[in-house]
Structure 1
Amino acid sequence: MAWIEKRGKKFRVIYDVGTPENRERRVASFDTPEEAGQFKKKIEYELSIGTYIDITKMTVAEYFDHWIRLHGDKLEPMTLSSYEHQIRNHIKPNLGEHKLAKLSPMHLQDYYAKQLQEGRIDKLKMELLKAERKKKDKIQKRIDNFITPGLSPTSVNYQHRIIHKALKQAVKWQMVARNVADAVEPPARVKATIDYLQKGQLNTFLGCIKTFSDYHVILTAVLTGMRQGELLGLRWSDIDLDAGLIYVRQQLQYLPSKGFFFKPPKQHSNRTIPMPLPINAVFRKIAKEQDKLKNLYDKKYKDMNLIFCEPDGSPMAGTALTKRFQKLLKANSLPKIRFHSLRHTFATMARVAGVRVEDIQDLLGHADIST
């Protein structure tokens, strides 16, 4: 059991650890009652399920497990999944065995240098160590085939921000005296190249893919600048064909642990945009096609009111759409770009057509037309 008492301007959490025969009293001091309450909740939970670990003995791996479990409910699902991936595949395998109290700036600096050199093959190297002899050659070949085994400076900088955030909380919980990540110089983030299709490339591409099933969603991306998640989350209730308007209200996302789910667009991205006439015609055509598919699938049709979906009405996976999109680019001898680059293509065409930057920002739902 733990309790809080006010001592001067500080709030102290007092708790007992150890066995009934060998109890030790511990005290942690905080500046605010909220911080004290959060620490009290953490300690009581760990003591109740038997996972409390003496801070002096806690490893970096154990701390990150505790931190992500207690901090995870404050993160967006996609962000949480990304953090878990970085912790599981990179941070814990490389830093996990260090004692949290002994973690130094040099440990982090060496880690970042290693990630720049071979971060892409971290997971494969772990598999190689655990693999049976007959599988080792296959894994080694995969490692040898990596042209650039190191992670980009931007990716390593992202890992640094996760580590810094986790250690900042450790300081608040008085588990360490300082945030050693403050004393490290992480690789600088590299500004991403803005890729887009030139007008001639775009016209050729659209002309060649008219008979493909993804033509409609690709054309809509080009002519509206909507994000992939916004397109795949677009419902019939989000458009007004007579008024020629599109209401961007949600986006579709997917996590292996959660499946498909909908969430509001990115901050300040709820918006109403004009529906280009070709897209109005596309939507009317899709509506007729869906009516036929509903009759074909009958009770097996999964009607989620989505405009862009699989033939049976179920949500369309963004990763699969991107792969098909890039295959179409390759088949037409065009450079490999991300699906998101169609948004940049829209912004570039609008700018060339003389549309004001402020108006483009409104249409894209973002303060920066390059994102």
Structure 2
Amino acid sequence: MLGLAWSAVDLDARTVTITAGRVSVKGGTELGAPKSWRSARTLPISADLTDALRAFRTAQARERLVIGAGWPDTGLVAVNADGTPIRPETYSSMFRRLVADAGIPAIPLKGVRNTAATTLIGAGLSPVDAAAWLGHDPAMTLRVYAHAREEGPIAAADVLSRPS
């Protein structure tokens, strides 16, 4: 998310293309290639997210006008109100604060990804499709996220008992 550039967002096609990531390094942050070839991908986005990004881009343009020539032209979506890139640890802190304010169980930010994988697979999306969305190897997705559910063996017995 922190490496997403506006140039990789196509609001008309309703897609985002993952081309870079940002990580903390000594003395700042670094923009680099995604972790793997699977991580570099184009994803469809919902109409709600498209609308939210349009509104955010408009608000960001207003902030840029207020700052004027002092606005750093990073091209990034995730920036502070003054145009500077949001640091990864700041983003994690904001997430922890939002989780606490919402009164939901605390998980690390990386846990949202795990929750997404579990939710996708639990909703019936194939592990291969869930892996493609997450930018994972399907075998890793199965190994890490595809947990047997309590009702799973009953469903399996029902499927195997059906007449062909």
When normalised by structure 1's length, the TM-score is 0.36
Instruction: Tell me the SS of whatever aligns to 1:304.
Output: coil
Separation of aligned partners in 1, 2:61 and 2:106:
35
Instruction: Tell me the SS of whatever aligns to 1:253.
Output: strand
Matches within 5 A, 1:202-351: 231-257=1-27, 259-268=28-37, 269-351=39-121
Paired AA for residue 265 in structure 1? P
- How far the C-alpha of 1:331 sits from its partner, in A, is 2.7
Separation of aligned partners in 2, 1:333 and 1:282:
24
Paired AA for residue 291 in structure 1? A
Paired residue for 1:356, among 95, 113, 126? 126
- 1:179 is matched with which residue? none
Q: Which has the greater radius of gyration?
A: 1
- How far the C-alpha of 1:351 sits from its partner, in A, is 1.6
Paired AA for residue 262 in structure 1? L
- How far the C-alpha of 1:243 sits from its partner, in A, is 1.0
- How far the C-alpha of 1:274 sits from its partner, in A, is 1.0
- How far the C-alpha of 1:319 sits from its partner, in A, is 0.8
State the Cα deviation string for residues 190-225 of structure 1 (Å, max 9, x = none): xxxxxxxxxxxxxxxxxxxxxxxxxxxxxxxxxxxx
Separation of aligned partners in 2, 1:332 and 1:244:
29
Separation of aligned partners in 2, 1:262 and 1:321:
16
- How far the C-alpha of 1:334 sits from its partner, in A, is 1.9
Is residue 136 of structure 2 the alignment partner of residue 366 of structure 1? yes
Separation of aligned partners in 1, 2:102 and 2:14:
32
Paired AA for residue 352 in structure 1? G
- How far the C-alpha of 1:313 sits from its partner, in A, is 1.3
State the Cα deviation string for residues 287-320 of structure 1 (Å, max 9, x = none): 1001100111011111211111111111101111
Structure 1's unaligned 5+ residue stretches are 1-230
Kindly tell me the number of residue pairs found equivalent between the two proteins: 140
- How far the C-alpha of 1:279 sits from its partner, in A, is 1.2
Paired AA for residue 124 in structure 2? G
- How far the C-alpha of 1:322 sits from its partner, in A, is 0.9
Structure 2's unaligned 5+ residue stretches are 146-164
Matches within 5 A, 1:1-371: 231-257=1-27, 259-268=28-37, 269-367=39-137, 368-369=140-141, 370=144
- Aligned alpha-carbon RMSD (Å): 1.5
Instruction: Tell me the SS of whatever aligns to 2:136.
Output: coil
Instruction: Tell me the SS of whatever aligns to 1:232.
Output: coil
Separation of aligned partners in 2, 1:247 and 1:331:
31
